Structure 1
Amino acid sequence: MDITLSPRASGKYISSLAKYIKINDGEVEKTALKVVDLLQNHTISLSKISEDDLCPTTSDEETINWIFVVDTLNFCFWSSGTENWNVTWKGKTYSGYFALCAAINRALSEGYSVTDPKFYSQISIRDLKTIFRGDNELISIPLLNKRLDCLHEIGLILLEKFDGKFSNCVLSSDHSAKKLLQVIVDNFPCFKDESNYKGKRVSFYKRAQILIGDLWTHFKGKNFGFFNDIEELTMFADYRVPQVLAYFNILEYDEVLMDKLKKGVILESGCEEEVEIRGCTIHAIELINQKVKGILTNVVENISENNDNDALVCNSILLDHYFWNYRRQHRTEVENIPFHKTLSVYY
C-alpha cells in the first residue's frame, strides 16, 4: 500500500468496487444535458462563482493569506442539535462556511491578526473561542480544539518553511495546480486527506483542492490564480454535494446505508461507507464532466481549455460549485435526502 492514488484515480477505483453505492448512468446523462444549457446561458461560469461578498475584494498577499486560513478551517459545520452555529455580521446572518468567513472578517475588524501566522501559530483557545463566537453563546463552531490544532500546525510550518507566506507555496508551483496540490499535502499534515480502501491507499484532498480552486476563482484565473493544469483538480468531496447527487438519483444508496443516514448515525472517518460516498461522488462528477465536454464538442468548434471567462469552459470545480449552491438554493427539497455525518478535519 505504498502508492497513494490521486483523487481522480481514487474515485474511479472506489466506484468500481463500491458495495453500498451505485452511479446511475442515465441520470448522469440527463444532468450533463442540463449542465450544457446552464453553461450556454452562463448560469455556470467562472465569473459567477467569483461573486462572493465575504471574500476580500483585493487581489494581493493579504487575500492569499485570508484564503489559506479560511480553507484550513473549512470543515465540519453540521450540528447534532436542532440549531446550527450562526454568525451575524454587518446586519446579515450566516451559517456554515459563510459563518466562518464572516467570523474571520469580524475578527480582522476587531483587531485580531487572524491571517498572520505569527499570531495564529500561537493563538489561545480563549481567543479562538472569542473569534468564533456565534449568535447563540451556547452553540460554538464544531471541533474548536481541532481548529486550534490546525492553525498552530500551519502557522508554525509556514513560518519555518515558507518565510511566513503562503504565496511562497503558490509561487513554488510554477502555475501548476497538480504541483501546488503536492506541495500542500506534503508539507501540511492537516490537509493530507487520505484513507485505506480494499487494499489501496486512496486520497480525496478536499481542502487542499478547494484552496487551489479558491485561488483560481478569486483571482479569476489570473496572476496567483493562473494554473496551466486546473483540469487536474477534481470536485471537493464533502457532505453536501453527495446529498445533492443522491437527490438527483445520480448516486443510489443501498437500503443499509440509507437507513443509517436517516437515523443520523455518525460514520467513522475512513470507514467503508464514508469512503464510498466520497469516492463515488468524485467519480460521478468526473463522468458528468466527461459527458458535458463530449456534448460541447458537438455544439461549438473550439472549446477553450484556458481561463477565458467568455469561453464555454467546464471542469470539476465549476460543477462542484453548481451542485453545492443548488443545495443552498433548494435546501427544503434537498433536505429530504439525509447527508452523511462524519467528524473530520478534512471536510
Structure 2
Amino acid sequence: MLWPREAGKFIASKARDVKINMEGVRKVAKVIADAVQEGKMDVKEFKQNEVLPINKGLTTAQLADWMFLINTLNFNFWTPDGVPKFSIEYEGKIHTGYLAMVACVNRAIDEGKKMYDPHYYSKLTLDDIKHIFRSDTPSTMPLFDERVRVMGEVGTKLIEKFDGSFINILKQVSGSAMKLVELVISEFPCFCDVAEYEGQKVAIFKRVQILAADLWMLFHGEGLANFTDIDQLTMFADYRVPQAMAYFGALEYSDSLHQRMVKEELFKSGDREEVEIRGCSIHGTELIVEETKHVMAERGMDVVGINSISVDYFLWDYRLNNAKELEKIPYHRVRCIFY
C-alpha cells in the first residue's frame, strides 16, 4: 500500500480526468507568500481555532479526547445547492458545516454532557445525536446513523484497550505523527481511508492525518503533541480544499468530469474520478509547498512552518472566507465517512 505522499504522486502520474497545472500552483504559492509577508497567515488565526474549547476548564487529557471525538465526526457536511446549510449560532457567531458540528459538541458540554468522555458518547442513541446536533435551520448533518456507529466503535475501543482515554494512545507514539497515524488506522477501522487505483492500494488518510495536525496545533507542538515528523503529513484530501485549488487553477478537470460536478452527480468513495481528485490534491499541495518555499526564499523570508498542513489550512480558510466567490467552482460530492 502506498501512503498518502507516494499515493498522490502515483495517482497524479496516471490521472485521466484531473490535471495539476503548474501555473495555478505558482499562483497559489504567491498568494500564500503574500499572506505570510503581510502577517495574515498564522497558525493561531485559522478558522478551525475559533471553536477550540480552551475556555471550558478541560484537562489536557480531556482536550485530547475532545479532539479525537471531533475528528471521528469530521466527515460529510455539504448541503445540496439551494438548500439551507446546517448552521448554529454559538457564542455570538453563526457557524456552518464542520464548524457548526464542533460548536454543537461544545454546546453539549455547556449543557453538562461529557462529550469528551468515551464512556458517555459511546452510549449515545440516534435520538441523542439528533438533539445534540440540532440545527438552527431545517437542514441537519447527513449520515446520523454512521455517526452513532463510529462514536460507539471508537469509544468502545478506547475503553477496552486504552483505559478510556486517547491520551494513552499519544503516550505510545513517542512524539511521532506518523506513528500516531499508523496506530489509529490499525485500531479504529473508521479512520482507514484507503482506495484502489490502477491496481494499486492507495492511502488517502484524510481524517487521521488531520487528527495529528489538529493535536499539534491545539497543543502548540508541545508535550505529547511535540511531533518531530509533522512535516511528513500531507494535506487532508476532502472536497473543499480541491475546490479552492481549482479556483486558483492549480487543479483542472476534464470537460466530462466538470459537467458531472456541475450537475451535482453523486460519486462513490473509491470511484476513479473521486480518487483522482483527492490524489491530485495531495500531490498538487506538495508542489505548492515547494513553490511557496521557493518564492519566499527569493524574497529573503523564513520558510519555517510552510508545510502541507499550513497550506491545507490556508486553502480551507480561503474557501470559507470567500464562499460567495467560490460558489462558481463546482466540487465533487460524496456521502461517506472518510471526509
Mark yes or no: TM-score above 0.5. Answer: yes
1:268 aligned residue: 268
C-alpha contact 2:83 2:139 (8 A) present in aligned 1: no
SS at match of 2:264: coil
Deviation at 1:263, TM superposition (A): 0.3
**TM-score when scaled to structure 1?**
0.92
Pairing 1:197-236 to 2, within 5 Å after superposition = 197-236=197-236
**Residue 79 of structure 1, CA deviation:** 1.8
Distance in 1, Cα, partners of 2:50 & 2:108: 16
Deviation (angstroms), 1:121: 1.5
- Alpha-carbon shift at residue 301 of structure 1 (Å): 8.7
1:183-212: CA deviation from partner (whole Å, max 9, x where unpaired): 111111000001000010001111101111
| CA shift for structure 1 position 51 | 7.3
Aligned partner of residue 46 in structure 1, secondary structure: coil
In 2, Cα distance between equivalents of 1:62 and 1:50: 22
Q: Secondary structure at the match of 1:79?
A: coil
SS at match of 1:47: coil
The residue aligned with 1:157 is 157
Q: Any stretches of 5+ residues in structure 1 without a counterpart?
A: 304-311
Does the alignment pair 1:30 with 2:31?
no
Counterpart of 1:130 in structure 2 is 131
Are residues 298 and 247 of structure 1, via their aligned partners in 2, closer, same or farther at CA, if it must alter by over 3 Å?
closer
1:17 aligns with 2:14: yes
Deviates more, 1:284-293 or 1:15-24: 284-293
Alignment deviations for residues 129-187 of structure 1 (CA, whole Å, 9 cap, x no partner):
11111113x43211100000110000011111111111111111100111111011111
2:50 to 50, 53, 64: 53
Aligned to 1:306: none
Aligned to 1:41: 38
What amino acid maps onto 1:220 in structure 2?
H
Cα RMSD after superposing both structures: 1.7
Kept after mapping to 1: 8 A contact 2:46/2:317: no
Aligned residue pairs total 335
CA contact (8 A) 2:88 2:95 kept: yes
Q: Which residue in 1 is equivalent to 2:307?
A: 315
Inter-partner Cα distance in structure 2 for 1:29 and 1:85: 35
Q: Which residue of 1 aligns with 2:257?
A: 257
**Residue number among 306, 312, 332 corresponding to 1:340 in the alignment:** 332
Shift of 1:42: 2.9
Provide Cα deviations, 1:85-125, integer angstroms capped at 9, x if missing partner: 11222343211011111110111111222221111122111
Rounded to whole Å, the distance in 1 between the matches of 2:19 and 2:119 is: 47
SS of equivalent residue, structure 2 residue 159: helix
Structure 1 position 297, deviation (Å): 4.1
Looking at structure 1, the residues matched to 59 and 159 of structure 2 have their Cα atoms a distance apart, in angstroms, of 22
Aligned-partner SS, 1:93: strand
Per mean C-alpha deviation after superposition, the further-off stretch among 226-235 and 112-121 is 112-121
TM-score (structure 2 length as normaliser): 0.94
Aligned-partner SS, 1:168: helix
- Match in the other structure for 1:307: none
Q: Provide the rounded CA distance (Å) in 2 between the counterparts of 1:243 and 1:113.
A: 35
**Structure 1 counterpart of 2:39, one-letter code:** H
Percent sequence identity over aligned pairs? 40
- Please give the alpha-carbon distance, in whole angstroms, between the structure 2 residues aligned to 1:299 and 1:91: 40
Distance 2:7 2:93 in 1: 40
Give the Cα–Cα distance (whole angstroms) in 2 for the partners of residues 128 and 237 of structure 1. 26
* Cα separation, partners in 2 of 1:27 and 1:90, compared to 1, 3 Å: closer
Aligned partner of residue 339 in structure 1, secondary structure: coil
Partner of 1:101: 102
> What is the CA–CA distance in structure 2 between the aligned matches of 1:51 and 1:195, rounded to whole Å?
27
Unaligned stretches of 5+ residues in structure 2: none
Runs of 4+ in 1 over 6 A off after TM superposition: none
